[in-house]
Amino acid sequence: MDKLTTLGEFIVERQSDFPFAKGELSRLLSAIRLAAKVVNREVNKAGLVDDILGSAGQENIQGETQQKLDVYANVQMINALRAQHEVCGIGSEENDDFIAFDKGESMWGKYIVMMDPLDGSSNIDVNVSIGTIFSIYRRKTKPGTVAQLEDFLQPGLDLVAAGYIIYGSSTMLVFSTGHGVNGFTLDTSIGVFCLSHPNMRIPEDGKIYSINEGNYKQFPEGVKRYIKYCQEEDEATQRPYTSRYIGSLVADVHRNMIKGGIYIYPATGINPNGKLRLMYENIPLAFIVEQAGGVASDGKNRILEITPEELHQRTPLFIGSKNMVEQAEAYMAEHSEVA
C-alpha cells in the first residue's frame, strides 16, 4: 500500500515550490484546510440542524438570498485566515466591500485572498454538492499598511495559488501553487485530508457539455451553434455528447476535471456579462484547469489575462477540456452576433 500523504505533509514536502516564502503560504493553506473541515462538519449535518438550513434572510451584493450556511462558511474562512496573520485582506462574494485587516499583525500579511465561501448554496436544501473557491495573491502595497483596492484587482496571471473544496459524496480539497494540481480527500474518521488525486490532468477531449439550456433563447448565436454541434450524431467524434448540468459550479467543473468535458455560462439577456464572478469563481477555476492542461476563456479572451476592474465583476465562462473549449470558441468567433 502506498504511503499515506496528508495535506500537511504535502505542504511541508513542497515548501521548495515557494522559494521566497518562509512558511507564510504554508500557514495560509493550513488555515484554509482548517476552515474546510469546520464548514464540512456543518454542511454534512445541514439536514439535521434547522438553525443552519434555510435563508439567513439577508441578501448579498448579488441580490441573492444568503443561505445561513453561506454566512457561516464566510465567517469561518475569514476567522481562520485572520488568525494566521499571513493575510492582510479578503474579498468575498458575501461582502459588498473588501475586508482589510487594519490593525495588529495581519497588517503585515503578505497575501490577499479572494473567495466564494459557499458556491451553489441554492442546492443546500436539496442535498446537492456545493463548494468553496479561493484565490491567493501577493499584496501589491507595502506590508504594515491597510490593504487597498489595487491589492485585490489583480489578473489571474499574478496568482500565487488557487483551489476549491467540494462538499460532495466525499469532501475534497483541490489546489495548485502553479506546479500542477493535487486533490486531497477528507478522511473523516481521522479528520485529515489525504492525497488521493496526485498531479490531476483534465482530458484534452470529453463527451460532456454542461450549460443551462433553459436559457437557450438568450444565448449568443455561437453558443447555440456549439450546442447543436454537441447534439449532432458523429461516430468519429463520439457525438452526440452527454448533457450534464448540476447547477453547482464547483461540482460541474470538478466532474469535468475527472472525466473531461466543457462547462459554459455565457452572456445571456438577463446577465449580459454572464452570471459568474471573475475574481472568486472564474479566475481560480481557470488557474486550476489550466494547471491541469485545460482551457478557460470568456468565449474569446483567456480568463487569466483579464485585468479585473471591480471586485464583483462578472464575465462569461467557457472552461474545461482543451479541444472542447477551443471548438466552442471557434463557433463564438464565427458567429459573434449576440442573442
The yes or no reply on residue 120 touching ligand P6P (CB under 6 A) is yes
Q: Which residue in 122, 141, 145, 273 binds ligand P6P (CB under 6 A)? A: 122
The yes or no reply on residue 26 touching ligand P6P (CB under 6 A) is no
Rounded least distance, CB 148 to ligand P6P, Å:
28
Task: Compute CA distances 256 → 156, 167, 249, 330, whole Å.
Answer: 21, 16, 11, 20
Gap between the Cα atoms of 168 and 74, Å rounded: 19
The yes or no reply on residue 119 touching ligand P6P (CB under 6 A) is yes
Q: Which residues pair with 212 in a beta bridge?
A: none
For ligand P6P, the closer of residues 66 and 291 by Cβ is: 66
Rounded least distance, CB 245 to ligand P6P, Å:
7
Rounded least distance, CB 11 to ligand P6P, Å:
28
Gap between the Cα atoms of 159 and 138, Å rounded: 8
For ligand P6P, the closer of residues 24 and 119 by Cβ is: 119
> Where in 223-252 is the site for ligand P6P (CB under 6 A)?
247-249, 252
Q: Which residue in 30, 95, 148, 212 binds ligand P6P (CB under 6 A)? A: 212
The three-state secondary structure class of 130 is: strand
- The 3-state DSSP composition of the chain as helix, strand, coil percent (nearest 5) reads 35, 25, 40
The yes or no reply on residue 269 touching ligand P6P (CB under 6 A) is no
Total residues interacting with ligand P6P, rule: CB under 6 A: 9
The yes or no reply on residue 92 touching ligand P6P (CB under 6 A) is no
Element (H, E) at 290: helix 283-291
Nearest to 320 by CA among 293, 295, 284: 295
Task: Compute CA distances 123 → 112, 128, 129, 181, 275, whole Å.
Answer: 28, 5, 7, 26, 17
> Is 122 one of the annotated binding-site residues?
yes
Nearest to 117 by CA among 168, 167, 179: 167
For ligand P6P, the closer of residues 5 and 215 by Cβ is: 215
> Is 164 one of the annotated binding-site residues?
no
For ligand P6P, the closer of residues 121 and 176 by Cβ is: 121
Rounded least distance, CB 123 to ligand P6P, Å:
8
Burial class of residue 285 (count of CB atoms within 10 Å of its CB; 0-12, 13-18, 19+) = buried
Binding segment for ligand P6P among 36-44, 116-124, 169-177, 329-337 (CB under 6 A)?
116-124
For ligand P6P, the closer of residues 96 and 213 by Cβ is: 213
Rounded least distance, CB 232 to ligand P6P, Å:
24
C-alpha cell belonging to residue 165: 473544496
Q: Which residue in 37, 207, 275, 322 binds ligand P6P (CB under 6 A)? A: 275
Burial class of residue 302 (count of CB atoms within 10 Å of its CB; 0-12, 13-18, 19+) = middle
> Is 245 one of the annotated binding-site residues?
yes
Q: How far apart are the first and last CA of the chain?
A: 55
C-alpha cell belonging to residue 164: 476549491
The yes or no reply on residue 296 touching ligand P6P (CB under 6 A) is no
* Binding site as annotated, residues for Mg(2+): 93, 116, 118-119, 281
Q: Which residues are annotated binding-site positions for substrate?
A: 119-122, 212, 245, 275
Binding site for ligand P6P (CB under 6 A): 119-120, 122, 212, 247-249, 252, 275
